[in-house]
Structure 1
Amino acid sequence: MKIKLAVILMSLFGLTSVSSVALAGTTIELSANDTMQFDSKSFEVPAGEEITLVFTNKGALPKAAMGHNVVILKPGSNVMGFGAGAVAAAATEYVPQSGSLAEQVVANTRLLGPNETDTIKFKLDAPGEYSFICSFPGHYALMKGIITAK
C-alpha cells in the first residue's frame, strides 16, 4: 500500500510527519472481493489535502449479484441507516442523490463489476472519522471502515 511505503521511506530518511508526504497528495488503494470484504478497514490521511482513492472489485461474480462501491460519509453519519436507505437508490447505483441521505455523502465511486477499477479524488476538510461503506444492498453491514482525517 502506498501510504505504508511512504511511512517506511520517511522513517529511513528521518522524516516523522505523515503530512510531509501529503504535500503531493495521498493515494489510498482499496479493493473488495466476492466474500463481501474490503482489503483494508482503516486509513489515516491529512485533513484538507487532496486524496486519491483507487478502488478495484477483485471479485468474479456479476455486478448485478455482487457489485461493489465505496461511499464515504460525513462524521456522525448513521452508517446502518444510510445503508438501509440506499437500497431505494438502485437507479443511481445505490448512492442517494437527494434528501438527507445524499447530504451525508462526501464522495463515492461507481458501482463496479468484476475486475473493474474506479479512481476518485476528494478532500476531507475537517479532522474527524469518516465512515466508508459499500452501499450495494446488504453489503454495508460487513463492508465498512473508517478514514481518519488529522
Structure 2
Amino acid sequence: MNVRKTLFALALLGAAGVAQAAPNCTVKIKGGDNMQFDLKTATVSAACKSISFELQHTGKLPVAAMGHNIVLTETANAADVAKDAVKAGAAAGYVPAGDARVLVATKMIGGGETASASLPGSKLKAGGDYTFFCSFPGHSALMRGKLVVTP
C-alpha cells in the first residue's frame, strides 16, 4: 500500500511540473489614433530563446499622420534614443540606424496595419530596467511603457 501512495505522490509532482505555464515570450501591444498604447507594463521571461513584440495599429490615420512603432531600450537611454529617432527622420522609420541602444524596433505603421520584431532573450537581463515607446515625433512622451523581465 505504501508503494502505491509513493507512486501516486510522484505522479502528482510530475504533473505539477507539466502544469506550470510556459514563459511569456510575446508582447502584444495596440495603439490607435488617440496616441495611447493599451499596455503600460509588459512582462517577459529572460528564459525565452526569442522575445517578440507585436504591434497592431487600431486607428485609421495613415503612417505619415499618425504612425506608430515599438522601440525597446534600456530606460536610461530612452529619452536620448527618442530625440535621435526624430533626427533620423521618416525615411529611417524614426529609428536611428545601427544604434546599439535600440534593443529591438518594429517598422513604423499606419492605421489598420500590424508589425512585429524579435530579439534574442539573451539580450535582456532579469531585473533589468527597460522602456518601450513609439518613436514617431511627439509620441514618445505618451506612448511608452515598462518592460519587466523575469528569470
Pairwise TM-score range, normalised by the shorter structure: 0.7 to 0.9
- Equivalent position to 1:109, from 99, 106, 127: 106
2:7 alignment counterpart: none
8 A Cα contact 1:131 1:145, kept in partner: yes
Larger radius of gyration: 2
Of residues 106, 116, 122, the one that matches 1:119 is 116
Shift of 1:93: 0.4
Give the TM-score normalised by structure 1.
0.78
Alignment-derived partner of residue 33 in structure 1? 32
1:147 matched to which residue of 2? 147
Show structure 1 runs of 4+ deviating over 3 A. Answer: none
Gaps of 5+ in 2: 1-14
- How far did residue 110 of structure 1 move? 0.5
TM-score by length of 2: 0.77
- Structure 1 CA distance for aligned equivalents of residues 69 and 147 of structure 2: 16
Q: Please give the secondary structure, in 2, of the residue aligned with 1:21.
A: coil
Q: Are the equivalent residues in 2 in contact too, given 1:45–1:149 (CA < 8 A)?
A: yes
| RMSD of aligned Cα (Å) | 2.1
In structure 2, the CA distance between the partners of 1:85 and 1:47, relative to structure 1 (3 Å rule), is same
Task: Structure 1: state its 5+ residue gaps.
Answer: 1-12
Quote the offset at 1:48 in angstroms: 4.1
Render the CA deviation track for 1:62-110: whole Å, top value 9, x for unaligned. 1101000000113532x22221221111121000014xxx121000000
